Structure 1
């Protein structure tokens, strides 16, 4: 029955409009307590981290806009960036009535031009620009999950650097980066320090790339402080210095996944 309704709505070209309506999202949360709990946690986490007086936030790798929705309540303007066709359509449907959200159908990369997006499923959060991550997830012997991820499609997408985004829209108060193994390419395009940024770290695959990102941010401004966020908790009670964080990362860390947050102390 659910599949039949979904197919009818798709034929009428209103599936995503119905799915992402406020009522449907509320209904899904009532039916799925874990989803409701996760979204409530995200709202509280970012509200405590960012406050509510931000001028501009970048959502890089916006996917279907769940974080964009949160950020708009905390900032006057949001720039939401995602190269996936399905996600772009969803973002436009969700936020078409909000002029303070700018949606950009591009991938953020180290240079402007074109690159390849590997697709496992339309709109999937596992779609990636990283050939290395694609190979790791599709490896049947070493997959992180119960089964390997199949990437059976690739498309060419337009790219833009983070530096050019900043020059076009201004320096954001916060940049959220969720790009499935493409973090180094994104962060290498930052040529001026920003107040606060977060990005994913998957180990051991992206050990050198993640460390490079930390080093690059430090090179832009040696006042950056760092912390790691894992399983809904901070690894450190407070942000720590570059040297302290780097030492932990190189010599002590045994985690496979966490998010790295870097903020300027000046």
Structure 2
């Protein structure tokens, strides 16, 4: 009961944060407008409460929203369950299909993760001191290739899976037009692995946005340059997203 109350309270807080700022929403639309056109298919992997889903829909895209947490799935169904252009997949994404143990942060479900290494890296790290993963859930895992076989090839994939991004990318056998993946400064090795995976698939141009700024840091660069930029970030930078465009 207590866990349910805490999760509901955290979900409502996320809804206020992610849906209550019109300027942020407009900035998000401008950012994703670089990658998404009306009629495109987009995969939002780690959809949480669906603020990116909202942006992709405003841009006219069809969306597959992928989210394994039951509370977040319930919120997605309430918000988008009647939208014929949104499909909700209540699964995690990884290297291969199966099951996984998801570590749940009931007070801040946006950082729940199937990566125990992510949780270990966060333990005691500056800026993460108050985070606690006190619950767990058994979740289904699929792959990006399986989702593509089921729904079609997306024009853009957004990956935000709290330290499991490299595993998720390992389940993608061919490049799509563009994608993004989250990075954190407590686990730069995960993002560096993602950059290497993207280069191997033929992605040649990279950019990034810090935090929730919704603003690119500068010009598009190659994989080595974005890796140097990432490696030089202070830990206080915390997190952001790296964007990749296929050749």
Matched ranges for 1:28-177 at <5 A: 35-47=21-33, 49-121=34-106, 124-137=109-122, 139=123, 141-145=124-128, 147-177=129-159
More off after superposition, 189-198 vs 161-170: 161-170
TM-fit CA distance, 1:102: 0.6
- In 2, distance between residues paired with 1:116 and 1:79? 23
Q: How many residues align?
A: 234
| Contact 2:102-2:137 at 8 Å conserved across structures | yes
**CA distance change for structure 1 residues 106 and 33 in 2, over 3 Å: closer, same or farther?**
closer
TM, length-normalised to structure 1: 0.78
TM-fit CA distance, 1:172: 0.7
TM, length-normalised to structure 2: 0.84
Identify the residue that residue 206 of structure 2 maps to in structure 1.
226
Runs of 5+ unmatched residues, structure 2: none
TM-fit CA distance, 1:218: 0.9
**CA distance change for structure 1 residues 100 and 150 in 2, over 3 Å: closer, same or farther?**
same
| Contact 2:108-2:131 at 8 Å conserved across structures | no
Identify the residue that residue 3 of structure 1 maps to in structure 2.
none
Larger radius of gyration: 1
- In 2, distance between residues paired with 1:202 and 1:129? 15
- In 2, distance between residues paired with 1:189 and 1:35? 34
CA RMSD of aligned residues (A): 2.7
**Greater relative contact order (CA < 8 Å, ≥ 6 in sequence):** 2
Runs of 5+ unmatched residues, structure 1: 1-6, 11-15, 20-24
- In 2, distance between residues paired with 1:152 and 1:247? 35
Identify the residue that residue 188 of structure 1 maps to in structure 2.
170
| Contact 2:103-2:112 at 8 Å conserved across structures | yes
TM-fit CA distance, 1:38: 2.1
Matched ranges for 1:206-225 at <5 A: 206-221=187-202, 223-225=203-205
TM-fit CA distance, 1:245: 2.7
